[in-house]
Amino acid sequence: MANARIPTTTLPSGAKIPTFGLGTWRMGENARKRADEVKALAHGLSLGVTLIDTAEMYGDGEAETIVADAVGSRRDEVFIVSKVLPSNSSKRGTIAACERSLKRLKTDRIDLYLLHWRGSPPLRETIEAFETLKDAGKILAWGVSNFDAGDMEELAETDGGTACATNQVLYNLTRRGIEFDLMPWCRARTMPIMAYSPIEQGRMLGHVALGEVARRRKATPAQVALAWLLRQDGVIVIPKATALAHVEEDIGALDVKLTADDLALLDKSFPPPKKATSLDML
């Protein structure tokens, strides 16, 4: 059952998507960690987190099998996001990649299927493949990842490109460049942003300002960083956690309410952009 504390946002199609989910980047890379990774995702599901983000690239497909094992018989409760590699993003390649992902995920459909980043195949071919898969019921919506504002303009001008549901990008307190141009572009089209690496793989957590706000709110620095994202309309946050305690900590961010003073301190310490910058990627 979905956690009532997790809000939803609306895709351009009108479909609802939770604004908090579980990421799986770097999962599936070490067989000795596999059981713990399955348990972490399953624990999140047991706590009502119903969005899981994965990709064919993660663990060379193994992350998708981990998702399948964690979800088990609860498929109808879960919103699954996966991604096609740019090297597979021709029309034929995208369809074949999706079929492989469906098999690894042990499902008949992917709720949201993304182009992982720009590749050499023309966007029109990828869009044609996405629409073919959508017509067949194998994906329910499609979007992109790691597209900057110029890429989004080009996508929108390509036949069928306005059906894009979301753009998944690197976004956190230390990586705010999208706020200058990409985020306004998406918001003008009621297109949610999916924020990956929301705590910068933990590198930001020793920052003095995060520690100060965490003390004020009786929270952890990670919870403050996640709460800063979650307070924004149209932002979907997908932290990765491979330990049960970290899953619970991340979910606790839903209860952290930041004040105007908190936000002012965070803005001073992590200034918003004053000009367009290149899109950050990991």
State pLDDT tens for residues 30-51.
999 999 999 999 999 999 999 9
Per-residue pLDDT tens digits for 166-216 = 999 999 999 999 999 999 999 999 999 999 999 999 999 999 999 999 999
pLDDT at 1 over 80: no
Single-letter residue type at 152: M
Q: What is the mean predicted confidence (pLDDT) over 125-136?
A: 98
pLDDT at 223 over 90: yes
**CB of 235 closer than 8 Å to CB of 171:** yes
SS3 content of the chain, % helix, strand, coil (to 5): 50, 15, 40
In a domain, 103, yes or no: yes
Q: What is the mean predicted confidence (pLDDT) over 74-83?
A: 97
3-state secondary structure 142-210: EEEECCCHHHHHHHHHCCCHHHCCCEEEECECCECHHHCCHHHHHHHCCCCEEEECCCHHHCCCCCHHH
Average per-residue pLDDT for the chain: 97
CATH of the domain at 64: 3.20.20.100
Q: What is the mean predicted confidence (pLDDT) over 229-233?
A: 97
In a domain, 83, yes or no: yes
The percentage of residues in the chain with a pLDDT greater than 90, rounded to a whole number, is: 96
pLDDT at 278 over 90: yes
In a domain, 8, yes or no: no
**CB of 88 closer than 8 Å to CB of 57:** no
Q: How many domains does the chain have?
A: 1
| Residue of higher predicted confidence among 27 and 2 | 27
Is residue 171 annotated as part of the catalytic site, yes or no? no
In a domain, 7, yes or no: no
Catalytic residue among 58, 113, 171, 196: 58
pLDDT of residue 2: 80
pLDDT at 4 over 90: no
- Which pLDDT band, with edges at 50, 70 and 90, does 27 fall under? very high
In a domain, 1, yes or no: no
In a domain, 164, yes or no: yes
pLDDT of residue 176: 98
- Which pLDDT band, with edges at 50, 70 and 90, does 3 fall under? confident
pLDDT at 282 over 90: no
In a domain, 155, yes or no: yes
In a domain, 260, yes or no: yes
Q: What is the mean predicted confidence (pLDDT) over 93-112?
A: 98
pLDDT of residue 113: 98
pLDDT at 127 over 80: yes
Quote the domain boundaries for residue 137: 17-269
